[in-house]
Structure 1
Amino acid sequence: TVLSKISFMMHEAYSVCVCVCLCVHARVCAQVSCEIAMPPALQREEAQKSWVLCLDDKFPSAQRLNTKHCRVYSLRLGGEDLWLEKALATAGCEVHCFDPSIGAAHLQDSGVWLHRLSIDWREPNPAISAQRQRSSTKKLAAILNDFGHRQVDVLKVDMESAEWKILENLVLEGVLHSVGLLLLEVHLHWAGFEVGGDEPNVVRYWFSLLRELERAHFSLYHSYSVPAKPRLFLQRNLHNTSSTYILGWVNTRYAPQ
């Protein structure tokens, strides 16, 4: 019918619109000026394009990095090498990497502490015994408490579509104020783990989390569209976007202790 065709066209237009809005938000809406300068240990092509640190001394987290009194957490699920983590360790930072695919429970490699821990947004399932699990599963707030760490100067999140629920958990548990810089890879090709609803609701959910970052005094200083990833947005092929972005956020109210 004519009405169904109009409804379909409006839905298509809405999907494209929210895609453009999200990409624009990721590129310009929350940006702050940040003097980005990499120390010698970080000067390689990837650092200039993808995972970029804000080293502007007007931000307290950058002061910590520049004086080498810094703590870095990297949340990951295997994948790319640890070049940034190792470079930050070489530069003098205390670096902890949490990855369930790591071979041993705890080990150190090139100055990086590697922990076979899976960061989750849920409490561990009591029905699954610790003996049956290859790796432990904990929320980030629990990790901070276990390690006796009150703050993290750099939090890198590369969790392959689990990032939205993890970010939601950081908001709900009030962890964001303890983070100086947030390096976040977001995936847009599908809604993400345990994110339900139709396209408008998924996009509203994503936007609500970005808004929570802004309410927590985080400002975007960097975004990078990963060219090797498919050009998909919620399973739709779109030529003017990417399914994966790497975003850099700085906490403008960060107060190192």
Structure 2
Amino acid sequence: MLYSLYLSFTNFDVLGTPEWVGLANYERLFFADQRYLHSLTLTLGYVVVSVPVQLAAALGVALILAPNRRGQGIYRALFYLPSLLGASVGVSIVWRALFQRSGTVPELLGTFGFSEQSWIDNPSMIIWVIILLEVWKFGAPMVIFIAGLHQIPQEQYEAAALDGAGKFRTFINITLPALSPVVFFNLVMGVITAFQTFTPAQVVGDGTGGPSDSTMFYAVYLYQKGFQDMQMGYASAISWVMLVILGIIAAILFATSKKWVQYGND
């Protein structure tokens, strides 16, 4: 890590000797590299959309699977399975095949009257393919939500029922506040993971960040600069800016959590 920090202030092509350039790499990042700024904006938008949707899906399924019914463990395992598969190359290839013009999804939508167009070749739609893939892997936060739901005292629900509170009111006033530490944990981890998304964007975008840089995520651009263009000094600067950005986001989340996260002794 310390060596990469040093490299971020150099011009280094991996094969030669690092040449000290000072802040030139960082100046280029923020003032001259429009593709970098595009990758940053695209990644932030992806995080803002995919993480809340994934957490909402995880919480919704957790509420259904939390009660200990017969055979419930099988359903939990099935919903958790995508998280075990992760964002592997194989899964990403299958996902790409599902949404290309001759894939299952366009053909299925075609039966309902929609045009059978390829999501992969459409710059405005391919980002949603990657978002859907990220949301599909909600198994890990789901398991954590289920554990959190089991920690809520049943006496609180019984008291709410005696007071005549409905399911929605009970969810808002009891379940969500009690789950707020779990929501906070899943939110922080989800943001960090989503910001570093690489394999789905690289595979679904055919390794070029296309079409029209619509899958040029932050990590994809970092990879291209470091391992394709052999600009390792510049790529090191990109990686350290990522670390700073994630640190700032985490600090903001921790600072704002005081207003909505309620622990057992609150």
Under a length normalisation based on structure 1, what TM-score does the superposition of the two structures give? 0.30
Under a length normalisation based on structure 2, what TM-score does the superposition of the two structures give? 0.29
Larger radius of gyration: 2
Bigger share in helix: 2
